[in-house]
Structure 1
C-alpha cells in the first residue's frame, strides 16, 4: 500500500485519477472516507498498488491490433513488452501488459472539474490554438478570475456561460470540451458531426464564460476547511450540514441565478428567502455580486445575437420570458431541442435569471439549457454524453 498525505484541493476522485485508480479503490483502502464529506490537508490515505491491464493474445492477433484495441501507442506497448514487433503476430496465449490509454483531448475529467483544472486547460488550449483568445471579465468574491474565451471572426455573436450554479459544475467541462473540438476541427479543416467549423468561424464569434461561479464550485467540491475566509458563515448558512454538495449559490450565499434585473423584486417575493442560503436568495439587490455584474457588463459591451446559459439537470430548454422573446425563439428552441434530444419548454413563474434579463434587455433569443438528467452534482460518468449534447445544441445555433 502506498501512503499518501492529503493536500489542499484533493478529493477522493482527484486522488484516484492521479494514481490511475477508481474512487472505489481509494474507499476500499480507507473506509472512513466514505463517511467523511471532504478530505482534510494532512490526512493520511493508504492507496493500493496499481495493477496494470493485461491481454492474452488470440490466434492471428498482431501487436498493432492489440494497441488499437486498447487505444494505446505502439511505442508504449513495446516498452512494456520487449520482443514484440508492430506488424508481427503475437504467439497465441502470450500475456501482454497494456499501458495506460493515451487520450489526445486536453479537456477531460480527472476527478472533479474545478477552477484549477479550468485554469490549466485554458492555458493549454490557448497555447495549442492561437485563434482562441483568452481573457477575464472580472473576479469572483474571493478574487478568482472569471475567464472569457473567444473564438471566431464573424459578425454574429453567441454568448454562452456555464456553472452559474455551484453544484452544476459539470457544465463547465462540457462547454470547454465543445470549444476544444470546434478548434481542433477548424484547425484541421474537418467537419464536426456533419457541421462546418470553417463556416462557424467566418459567420460567428463565440464569447464563452465557462465557469461563472468558481468560488461556489470550489466549495461544493472541497468544502470549507480550516482557514476558509467564510467558514463560520458558511456553516451557519448551511444549517450545520457538513456537506456542501447541494450548494447552488456563490460564496456569500447569494444565488446567481436570481441576481439579474428582470422583475427581480417579484422573484425575491416568490422565493421568500431573506438572507444568505445554499440556494434561492437573490441578494440585497440585483447585480450585488461581482460574478453576475461581470456577465451583464460583458453583454452590454459586446451585445450578442443569441445567448445560452448552461445549467443542469432536466434535458429541457427554456426559451421564453414574459412575451419579450422575439418570434423566432420558439422555432429555434425546438430545433435545438431536437439536436440535443431534449424538450423545448415555455417556462412561466420564474424571473431574475440570466436568460430572462438577456431576452428583456436585448429582445434577442436567449435560452437556459438544462443538461443531463438526475441529481446535482451529476456523476462524472455522464460527462461524455452531456458534452456531446452541449456540442449538438450549440452547433445547431452556429449552423443556422
Structure 2
C-alpha cells in the first residue's frame, strides 16, 4: 500500500506528512492546537464540511505510535480519494466529505513517541532514565515525558485510578498524575472537545483486536449500533464495559453522553512490530469509514 510508512513513525515523519498534505490539498486544514511538555506542536487535521462532527486520535500512549502511522495513512488515502473524486472501500469520498466534518489528532504524545523511537535528548536523559529504572530501552514507555499516563488524566473516576494504580510517582507507565488534567497534552485534548463539541470520538490504542464502547451506563443507544457496525467491518470484538476509569473516552461519554470508543488495534506486545502495520491499517480504515457514516 503506497499510503503506509514502513518505518517507526516519529514526530519528524508526522511533520513531513503534514507538510505534504498542506502542499497538495487545499481542502485539508491543519492547526496547531497546543504544545507538549517539551514544546512540540500538537496538530489537528480537519477534512470535510458536514454537520456531523467526528474525531479520531492516536498515540495517547508513547509506545503505541503505530496508531499515528495508521491514522495518517487513512488521512492520506482519504485526501487522495477526495481529490480524485474517488471511492474508499466502496464509499464515495465526496459523500463522506459532504456529510461529516472529521477531526484527527494523530499524535497526542509527541515527546513520548520521540523517546520510544529515538531515545532521550540530552535535556531529558537524566530524568527519564531515572523513571525507567536506569534502562536505556524505552520500548515499554507509555507516559508523557514527565512520566504521567495521559489516558489516566481525565476527571471521571480519576480518584479510583489514583488509589489503585502503581506506581505512586512519575514512571514509564500507569501513573495518573497528582491531579486530573495536570499535563498539557491532556488539557489540549479536553479543550478541543469542549471547543468543538464532537458528536463521536474514537481513540486509537494498541493492542487486543477489540474495542470498548461503554462507560457508567452513560453511552447512548447509538453507541451499541455503532459497536455492532465496527465489529462487523473489522472483526474486532466489541466490549461493553471494562474496569477502567479516567480515560479520554470515559470522560467524553460521561460528560456528553455521546458515542465514544477506545479501539485496541492489533495483537501482541507494544510497540507492535511494523509487520503488523498492513493488518492494523485494514482494521483502522474500515472502522474509520464506518465511523464517518450516519
- Range into which the TM-score falls when normalised by the shorter chain: over 0.9
Q: Using the TM superposition, give the Cα deviation of residue 270 of structure 1 relative to its aligned residue in structure 2, in angstroms.
A: 2.0
Residues 208, 265 of structure 2: 8 Å contact kept: yes
Change (3 A) 1:330 1:110: closer
1:395 aligns with 2:294: no
SS of residue matched to 2:55 = strand
Q: Using the TM superposition, give the Cα deviation of residue 307 of structure 1 relative to its aligned residue in structure 2, in angstroms.
A: 0.2
Residues 109, 380 of structure 1: 8 Å contact kept: no
Superposition RMSD in Å = 1.2
Residues 4, 70 of structure 2: 8 Å contact kept: no
Residues 164, 311 of structure 1: 8 Å contact kept: yes
1:201 aligns with 2:97: yes
Structure 2: runs of 5 or more not aligned: none
Residue matched to 1:112? 8
1:215 aligns with 2:114: no
1:254 aligns with 2:148: yes
The 2-side partners of 1:346 and 1:387 are apart by 23
Residues 195, 399 of structure 1: 8 Å contact kept: no
Change (3 A) 1:315 1:110: closer
1:123 aligns with 2:19: yes
The 1-side partners of 2:261 and 2:106 are apart by 16
1:293 aligns with 2:187: yes
Residue matched to 1:309? 203
Deviations 1:318-344 (A, max 9, x none): 000011111221221121121111000
Q: Give 1:355-370 correspondences, 5 Å limit.
A: 355-370=249-264
Residue matched to 2:242? 348
1:155 aligns with 2:51: yes
- Structure 1 runs of 4+ with >3 Å offset: none
1:270 aligns with 2:171: no
Which of 173, 179, 190 is 2:86 aligned to?
Answer: 190
Q: Using the TM superposition, give the Cα deviation of residue 257 of structure 1 relative to its aligned residue in structure 2, in angstroms.
A: 1.0
Instruction: Name which structure has the greater RCO, CA cutoff 8 Å, separation 6+.
Output: 2
Residue matched to 1:230? 124
Q: Using the TM superposition, give the Cα deviation of residue 384 of structure 1 relative to its aligned residue in structure 2, in angstroms.
A: 1.6
Residues 334, 343 of structure 1: 8 Å contact kept: no
In the superposition, the TM-score normalised over structure 2's length comes to: 0.97
Residue matched to 1:329? 223
Deviations 1:208-264 (A, max 9, x none): 000000000000011125x2x221121111112120001000000000010111111
Q: Using the TM superposition, give the Cα deviation of residue 348 of structure 1 relative to its aligned residue in structure 2, in angstroms.
A: 2.6
SS of residue matched to 1:207 = strand
Deviations 1:31-72 (A, max 9, x none): xxxxxxxxxxxxxxxxxxxxxxxxxxxxxxxxxxxxxxxxxx
SS of residue matched to 1:284 = coil
The 2-side partners of 1:338 and 1:126 are apart by 34
Structure 1: runs of 5 or more not aligned: 1-102
Q: Give 1:93-108 correspondences, 5 Å limit.
A: 105=2, 107-108=3-4
SS of residue matched to 1:328 = helix
SS of residue matched to 2:156 = coil
Residue matched to 1:5? none
Higher deviation after alignment, 115-124 or 178-187: 178-187
In the superposition, the TM-score normalised over structure 1's length comes to: 0.72
1:165 aligns with 2:79: no
Residue matched to 1:140? 36
Higher deviation after alignment, 127-136 or 233-242: 233-242
Residue matched to 1:55? none
SS of residue matched to 1:383 = helix
Q: Using the TM superposition, give the Cα deviation of residue 399 of structure 1 relative to its aligned residue in structure 2, in angstroms.
A: 2.1
The 2-side partners of 1:231 and 1:284 are apart by 22
Q: Using the TM superposition, give the Cα deviation of residue 266 of structure 1 relative to its aligned residue in structure 2, in angstroms.
A: 0.9
SS of residue matched to 2:91 = coil
Q: Using the TM superposition, give the Cα deviation of residue 205 of structure 1 relative to its aligned residue in structure 2, in angstroms.
A: 0.3
